[in-house]
Every structure is written in structure tokens, then in C-alpha cells.
Chain A
């Protein structure tokens, strides 16, 4: 089945130690998104890629970076995780219609990040 796969499902890192979360997709969608979701809160968009074009949200901290080496893979790098970065990180993908508008987003299972 075509899907969005996130690895690892659970990640524990130390305060200040860089960490990378990965996302892959077999849907061949041209748009990939990274969200942060804290308990009982709405998912918060960090950034998205339209093909290779990176689009950062204005309020995303500089501590968060992303890479998309090809259509299938996208990575979230947290350069110096703080305690406030403990959350579920969600990767999502979507295709675009003829007008270039994103279609419904499909989420991976998420990576739950804990900071020691």
C-alpha cells in the first residue's frame, strides 16, 4: 500500500544534542510537510516543500531545519533540542491539482520525541 512512513516512531535525545527525524513516501506526492503537535493541541505547521522549494513558516524557530534530497524523502533536523521541543512530529504529503493547489494531506504515524 502507498503510504507515508516515519522513522523512528520514538526518539529520545539529550538536551542540546542534534537529532534527525525521517519521512519517506510512496505516494509520489510533490508536497511534503512537517508539523509539530503537543499534547491536546492542534498540529502546528513548521515548513513544507513544494517539489524542491522550501517554505518556512514565519514562527518556526531557526533550531528547526529540513532537507528533501529527493521526491520520496524528507528530513527534520533539530540542531539543539530544548525541553520545549518534546512533542509528536508529523510528516504529511499531498499532491496538487492543475491549479497547483494542495489536495488533502495524508499523515505518517509520527515520531514522538522526548528530551532528557
Chain B
């Protein structure tokens, strides 16, 4: 079983809709969770991190964490064509190391 699993997509949503991305992880002891956005050919860019159960909102992005169910999700509200990218979920596995999922590709249709 992979440490971090994501649906590879592509996830296609119309402009203005909500994009919902899910991530599950295997280590029940994990405490820190991150979402990175990666445009094609570019490096990952940190967009959200969450440490506590519940929701964390930042602009159009909301991260949701449920440690009991071992999943973390990312909602993108009012999706824009510029949100078209691959979204990587990352989970801290020790003091320094992150384990990344393979990413979910999102396409926002104009």
C-alpha cells in the first residue's frame, strides 16, 4: 500500500464550479499535511497546509482533514482556468521527510 494515494484524474470542472480533490494516507500517526500545486513543467508550489482536524480556508481554497478516516481533501471554489494544474498531496512521515502522492490533474473548462 502506498503511503499517500490520490486519484490521478484528470478531474475536469467547468469554470466557476467547485473542484474537490481527495487524498488518503496510510500512517495513522501522521500529523502534518500539505497541498502543492504544480503547473506542467514547473516546480511544486505550496498552497495549503493543515495540522488539525476540520477545515482550513485560504481564499478560494479549503483544506479538510479527518485523521480518524485518514483522509485530507482540497476544495477549490469558483474554479478558474488558471487553477488547471496537478495538485500534490504530501504527508509528513518524520521530522523532515514528506511523502508525496502522485498528484491529481485538474482541468478547468472555460
Contact = CB atoms under 8 A, between A and B. Distances in A.
Interface of A: 31, 33, 40-43, 45, 48, 50, 55, 88, 90, 94, 96, 100-102, 104-110, 112
A88 to B, nearest CB: 8
B102 A45 contact: no
Interface in B1-47: 4, 8, 32, 34, 36, 41-46
Given A42-B88, A50-B96, A101-B95, A106 B102 contact: no
Given A50-B96, A102-B92, A42 B101 contact: yes
Contacts, number: 52
Contacts of B98: 45, 105
A107 B45 contact: yes
A112 B41 CA distance: 9
B54 to A, nearest CB: 19
A48 B96 contact: yes
Top 4 A-B pairs, shortest CB-CB distance: A42-B100, A107-B43, A102-B96, A110-B43
Given A90-B43, A100-B95, 7 more contacts: A40-B103, A42-B4, A42-B100, A45-B98, A88-B43, A101-B32, A107-B45
A108 B43 contact: yes
Contacts of B32: 101
B92 to A, nearest CB: 7
Contacts of B95: 96, 100-102
Nearest to B103: A42
B97 interface: yes
Interface string B49-86: 10000000000000000000000000000000000000
Contacts of B8: 40
Most buried by A among B42, B45, B95, B101: B95
B39 to A, nearest CB: 11
A55 to B, nearest CB: 7
